[in-house]
Structure 1
Amino acid sequence: MGVASEEEFPDATPSGQFPLIVFAHGYNASTDTYAALLHDIAASGFVVAAVEFPLTSSAYPGNPVQMDLVNEPADISFVIDSLLGATPPAPLVDAIAKTKVGVIGHSDGAMAVLLTAYAPRYVDPRIGMVVSIAGGYDTYGGAWFSASSAPLLVIHGTLDEVTPYSRSEELAAMDPHDVMFVAAEGASHIGPAIAPEYEPVIARVVSESFAWRLLGSTAAAASTLIDADTPPLRIVSVRG
């Protein structure tokens, strides 16, 4: 966590306060799968908390249980509770800015953060920005989106072999508020999150979007629109 630097100091004391970002991994993956992405977002000036879901993470023994997805929004809100509460972990005392929270997820993790932000059954009003990578639209938990819905960044690989690209097309179309849909040209299902030709640029666009929406940075807004439309990325649509 912290501001970008030419040198890294692991476990250094944060020099300031930074918005909280909560990350949700995909089914039968783990937070380690996305280490580079999480590192790059944190290095851009955020406190990043990656949830290790007990029944869908590959970090734990046993077969993952995909049906546990419906319980993951509560896990995400619990992490937010823990970090924004009166007694956060010692290294994070006074390190988290009093802004809205950003959430980001990949695949089933994207579905988990979308449920947490937009489904009436789960909606957490502390969320101020959502990033969905290889996710999609659903109506589980009640009709998604409301007048107070958080802005949404949708990212999807055009050659996704697991979750059809059309799922994100539908997601972007169904959100009537602030939404940007970005295609990762030629990317597979996992590619946007971990492949070296995609991950650094995705991390940059995601970080700029969080700075735009959570901190109100006009410079970040301008950079987002440029970087999200620079190959291998392409802006498909923007609303709001």
Structure 2
Amino acid sequence: MRASLAAASVLLLTGCSVSLPRPATTSAPPAPAVTSTAPAPAATGRAPRQTFEVDTRQLRLRRGADRPLPVTIWYPDADAGRLPVILFSHGLTGRPGDYAPLLERWASAGFVIAAPVYPHTSGGAERFDALDVVNQPADATYVLTEVLKLDRRAGDALRGRLATDRLAAAGHSAGGITTIGLFSVARDERLDAGIVLAGSALGVGLGFTGPPAPLLFVHGQRDSVVSYASGQAVYASVPWPKAFLTLPDGDHGQSLLRDGNEAFDVVADSTLDFWRWSLYGDADAKRRLPDDAESAGLGRLDDKLG
């Protein structure tokens, strides 16, 4: 598996990170403890309509001596009931803060986002190794397990606030590979849905397995790092409900993920309505997806969500 990654590692190293400025963040003070630990309800069919202010916090995790996994968590600052949890994976040489505009947008709509820094593929890694991507699906599963424990931790700001039965994974580039791995070679059967941003199946294969989970792919047709064709190949192999958002003028990251441009709004709106549908069961959000994708004529959607 490591050998299959070697041929493409140089290409990935040239541009997998979105190279965005990293905004300064501060941890929010702990919220009052929530006493309820009842199981999360089934999807209600209606996602929150309001926009929440967002808090961030840091969680220090470690999966073995060589795998520190510091995690940034974005979450609504108000009690909005139990919230779906999304595990987000960064690209090579990236860090969670690089994706803050998108992740904050998701959190402000009623989701909890947990984004680890992977030990050997992140920007600033002491021992960088692009081939370590194959170990990241296991890291992601570990992080998700530890984050869900906060729902039962006395005094924690997220106690009683996590919908532990509504879970998803998303990632960009090498993080997209990690995400595909969570639905294939390292299937985490707790996951209900996923989003792959400019990803491929390099090193993790196309053997999707486990219970059906809807997947949304987003890819720029001018991506010079992870080819559009490789994203399409993964999409073609998915046996479950799926959709593919093509951005004809999109590159590998900047035009997709940098706030302040129309392409970013297309990605943010489309991914949010996909989450609202797949994790809240909001049928209105699903109906909005084609319009989200084709806003301003910047994208087109292949919709096989059913």
Quote the residue 2:148 is aligned against. Answer: 84
1:131 equivalent to 2:176? Answer no
Greater mean deviation of Cα atoms: 90-99 or 44-53: 90-99
Letter in 2 for 1:38: L
Quote the residue 1:96 is aligned against. Answer: 162
**Which of the residues 49, 53, 63 maps onto 1:8?**
53
SS at match of 1:93: coil
1:225 equivalent to 2:296? Answer no
Structure 1 position 4, deviation (Å): 6.4
**Which of the residues 118, 121, 127 maps onto 1:56?**
121
Cα pair 2:51 2:108 within 8 Å, conserved: no
CA 13–90 in structure 1, closer or farther in 2 if over 3 Å, else same: farther
Counterparts of 1:1-240 in structure 2 under 5 Å? 5=50, 8=53, 10=55, 12-58=77-123, 60-62=124-126, 64-85=128-149, 86-87=152-153, 90-119=156-185, 122-138=186-202, 140-141=203-204, 144-146=207-209, 148-190=211-253, 191-194=255-258, 196-197=260-261, 198-230=263-295, 231-238=297-304, 240=306
> TM-score normalized by structure 2?
0.70
Computed over aligned residues only, the root mean square deviation of the Cα atoms, in angstroms, reads 2.3
Cα pair 2:96 2:115 within 8 Å, conserved: yes
SS at match of 1:145: coil
Structure 1 position 225, deviation (Å): 2.8
Query: Aligned residues: percent identity?
Result: 27
1:161-195 superposed Cα distances (whole Å, 9 cap, x missing partner): 11110011111111122110110120110131225
CA 54–5 in structure 1, closer or farther in 2 if over 3 Å, else same: same
Cα pair 1:27 1:64 within 8 Å, conserved: no
SS at match of 1:235: strand
Unaligned runs of 5+ in 1: none
SS at match of 1:98: strand
Structure 1 position 117, deviation (Å): 1.8
Number of matched residues?
235
1:208-237 superposed Cα distances (whole Å, 9 cap, x missing partner): 111111221111111123212333121135
CA 79–54 in structure 1, closer or farther in 2 if over 3 Å, else same: same
CA 115–208 in structure 1, closer or farther in 2 if over 3 Å, else same: same
Structure 1 position 50, deviation (Å): 0.9
Pick the structure with greater CA Rg: 2
1:46-71 superposed Cα distances (whole Å, 9 cap, x missing partner): 0011111111111x343521111011
Greater mean deviation of Cα atoms: 25-34 or 12-21: 12-21
Cα pair 1:83 1:89 within 8 Å, conserved: no
Unaligned runs of 5+ in 2: 1-46, 57-76
CA 157–88 in structure 1, closer or farther in 2 if over 3 Å, else same: farther
CA 183–151 in structure 1, closer or farther in 2 if over 3 Å, else same: same
C-alpha distance in structure 2 between counterparts of 1:72 and 1:89, whole Å = 30
